[in-house]
């Protein structure tokens, strides 16, 4: 069993990392302002209160207040950083440069200081349509800073990610991306814009965060083609 901390663990991708890690028997801590995500309130729906969520420690804190969450890095084997935004809210100080760049650098510095051996950064292949270019320049800046730190860093660069939960698209687009993503021959030709299932992105994020030897850059073909650890082979 390993111990993993997920920043943005309540989000679309981060939540899937938490689910996977908890179901594989790891100790999991999520750091996000909202704490435990709202899974819905219908008792008849098994997804409303999933059993795995009770095995995650949901820390309610902003990544920009490290004194509120750094103690949870103690004895961590890896960190997945899955915080990012596609729209600015300047009145709240929430801007692309800060959330997509500075947040990752800060989390990396805290992980280095705590002696965590490896860090997986959920970056991106490109700027989503309608989003300022700062989305990507901030992520690339963070990638450059992170690889200078004294810990192993995996940089994941997915394109659009689809799946259950709260994807960044409408239900229709989500279904279209699933259709495209699952047709291997078509999907492979899409290269960097190939839509990827959230389960695959989350699994690569988790496994690279727990294995310092898997540092490096993972573009869309590398994420989609990554061999994953069979669940029964997990330590």
Ligand X SMILES: NC(=O)c1ccc[n+]([C@@H]2O[C@H](COP(=O)([O-])OP(=O)(O)OC[C@H]3O[C@@H](n4cnc5c(N)ncnc54)[C@H](OP(=O)(O)O)[C@@H]3O)[C@@H](O)[C@H]2O)c1
Q: How far apart are CA 70 and CA 68, in angstroms?
A: 6
Q: Kindly tell me which of 144 and 168 has the beta carbon lying closer to ligand X.
A: 168
Stretch that binds ligand X, among 17-25, 43-51, 56-64, 213-221 (CB under 6 A): 56-64
Give the burial class of 163: count Cβ atoms within 10 A of its Cβ; 0-12 exposed, 13-18 middle, 19 or more buried. buried
Cα 95 to chain centroid, rounded: 19
- Residue selected from 82, 152, 200, 224 as contacting ligand X according to rule CB under 6 A: 82
Q: Kindly tell me which of 127 and 229 has the beta carbon lying closer to ligand X.
A: 127
- Both tokens assigned to 155: 């940089």
Interaction of residue 181 with ligand X, rule CB under 6 A: no
Interaction of residue 138 with ligand X, rule CB under 6 A: no
Stretch that binds ligand X, among 70-78, 165-173, 184-192, 215-223 (CB under 6 A): 165-173
Q: Kindly tell me which of 2 and 30 has the beta carbon lying closer to ligand X.
A: 30
Min. distance of Cβ 42 from ligand X in angstroms?
21
Close Cβ partners of 194 (under 8 Å, ≥ 6 residues apart): 159, 180, 181, 187, 188, 220, 221, 224
Q: Kindly tell me which of 68 and 234 has the beta carbon lying closer to ligand X.
A: 68
Min. distance of Cβ 22 from ligand X in angstroms?
16
Q: Integer distance in angstroms from the first to the last C-alpha of the chain?
A: 6
Of 11, 6, 7, nearest to 163 by C-alpha is 11
Of 87, 98, 80, 42, nearest to 206 by C-alpha is 80
Q: Rule CB under 6 A: which residues touch ligand X?
A: 7-8, 10-14, 31-34, 62-64, 82-84, 99, 122, 124, 158, 160-161, 166-168
């Amino acid at each position: 069993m390993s111990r993993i901390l997920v920043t943005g663990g309540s989000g679309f991708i981060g939540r899937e990392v938490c689910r996977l890690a908890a179901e594989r028997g790891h100790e999991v801590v999520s750091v996000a302002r909202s704490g435990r995500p709202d899974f819905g309130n219908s008792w008849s729906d098994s997804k409303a209160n999933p059993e795995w969520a009770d095995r995650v420690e949901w820390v309610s804190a902003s990544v920009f207040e490290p004194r509120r969450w750094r103690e949870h890095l103690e004895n961590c084997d890896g960190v997945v950083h899955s915080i990012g935004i596609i729209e600015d809210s300047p009145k709240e100080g929430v801007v692309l440069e800060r959330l997509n760049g500075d947040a990752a650098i800060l989390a990396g510095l805290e992980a280095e200081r705590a002696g965590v051996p490896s860090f997986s950064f959920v970056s991106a292949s490109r700027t989503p349509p309608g989003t300022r270019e700062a989305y990507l320049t901030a992520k690339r800046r963070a990638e450059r800073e992170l690889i200078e730190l004294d810990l192993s860093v995996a940089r994941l660069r997915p394109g659009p990610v689809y799946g259950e939960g709260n994807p960044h698209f409408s239900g229709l687009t989500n279904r279209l991306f699933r259709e495209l993503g699952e047709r291997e021959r078509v999907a492979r030709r899409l290269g960097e814009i190939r839509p990827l299932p959230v389960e695959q992105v989350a699994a690569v994020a988790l496994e690279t965060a727990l294995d310092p030897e898997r540092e490096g850059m993972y573009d869309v073909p590398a994420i989609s083609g990554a061999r994953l650890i069979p669940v029964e082979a997990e330590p």
